[in-house]
Structure 1
């Protein structure tokens, strides 16, 4: 019998043994980032933050999104889950930003290098099809329990859409435009920054939207390793058979998901209108 799990276990143990100080340093940095974002979100009074988010949603996605944001966040505060919602939002923002900072450059690299694209494709397939719970195991072994392993499990889980859609967007740029730009003497950097990225931006922003949505779903699951947030409310409802508590936590997650989805979708739609005009 071939027991792949033993080899993986030995490899992870080897990493934790030889790179323990590195993982500790990374843990402190990520933990500081999450705490900083959470502090910024928590320093403002709840009604001010709700009003600002509602105005932002209205300006970006229309009056219906603004009204929904106002009423939805007001309902979350009324149910008593405001601190958990801000904790979840902080985890999502940090995880999604890191996933995008890693994923978009890899997507650009894969679009411009066929060999890199062929290597990344099965890796991304593996990352997307692996059950989400499995990512929690190495994250806990490397960083212990808490927010940081939740962030890293979320980064791995949420990164593939950013890579795939960035690659797709750049590959869909018309070849005649690329050739015309090159014929005028543009460098590879100028071609990327002034032609390919602007034309591919609607598709890239769709990847941003999907990354944020997947980050939200994983952050909820990460409550199993003490990441906190709204996932902890849902987990409490499951483990303690408190149907009402679990349902309320689920409603809060749905409200937050819809708000983030509408706002991030609006960036892609407005960018698409600009490019079409």
Structure 2
């Protein structure tokens, strides 16, 4: 009756041999192709370093004005702009400016990369049901897998540093933009598409002039969620050398520095609120514009 109380499983020797074979195969792959993979990502490293250099070496008043101008353009709300100003001033006053700028540069590059990769995948999924059925389970796995797990293959392939952290952040943060791009295009009114067909629009013209503009508020919601998930990954990515607000939080956890952890944690929250309010306000503006045009 032992089988009734203890779940039958592969014997220990076979399981150990299987794990050993998989680990050896992965190590062989990294030794063989590691340098080629690293050189493939070198343009990404250059882009990330330039973004970080711009954010950290540009005088703080200029960076503040740029962020406030973006907030105003996106929201057209003085309340949002004032909230951004107060948050940035508090971050600077408590000595977290440089780490915050590094974090913002990381989030910016991760978001740009997610948009460049995610929106085309979402468009293809919206045009092909079979591709949607194939990609959806992969997105489910990406969204449910613990964030720490992403670090293992990335570190084994590329080592410790900014680029491995960036790739882990992108893998963790990209599913919402893919899903919501697909959803937004599929939710476009069929009558509008029939009208476009009646005017003789090609598939590309219909996508560019009708489907994408109408799906833009939904796509913006996907970008908002991607930014939030990228920020949530900041502390985890700091474990493999990503500089920014995550490293002081990690240091505070390791050494029980309460105020260091709280201040930097609040700075991450402040950035998250800025990004969230600005992107949501822009999405609402797009929605109102869409309703005005088509209402």
Is 2:60 the partner of 1:41? no
2:243 corresponding residue in structure 1? 228
1:109 corresponding residue in structure 2? 124
CA-based RMSD = 1.6
Is 2:224 the partner of 1:209? yes
Structure 1: stretches of 5+ with no match in the other structure:
none
TM-score between the two structures when normalised by the length of structure 1: 0.95
Q: 1:25 to 1:105 in 2, by over 3 A?
A: same
Q: 1:7 to 1:125 in 2, by over 3 A?
A: farther
Structure showing greater Rg: 2
Is 2:201 the partner of 1:197? no
1:252 corresponding residue in structure 2? 267
- Match of 2:172, SS? helix
CA positional deviation for 1:98: 0.7
CA positional deviation for 1:114: 0.3
Bigger mean CA offset, 44-53 vs 218-227: 44-53
TM-score between the two structures when normalised by the length of structure 2: 0.89
Q: 1:233 to 1:173 in 2, by over 3 A?
A: same
- What is the rounded CA distance, in whole Å, between the counterparts of 1:198 and 1:161 in structure 2? 18
Q: 1:37 to 1:266 in 2, by over 3 A?
A: same
Structure 1 residues 241-275: Cα deviation after superposition (integer angstroms, max 9, x where no partner) = 00110001101101111111111112211111111
140, 143, 162: which one aligns with 2:155: 140
75, 84, 91: which one aligns with 1:69: 84
- What is the rounded CA distance, in whole Å, between the counterparts of 2:275 and 2:125 in structure 1? 28
1:272 corresponding residue in structure 2? 287
- Match of 2:275, SS? helix
Q: 1:261 to 1:132 in 2, by over 3 A?
A: same
- What is the rounded CA distance, in whole Å, between the counterparts of 1:238 and 1:60 in structure 2? 36
Runs of 4+ in 1 over 3 A off after TM superposition: 2-12
CA positional deviation for 1:6: 5.3
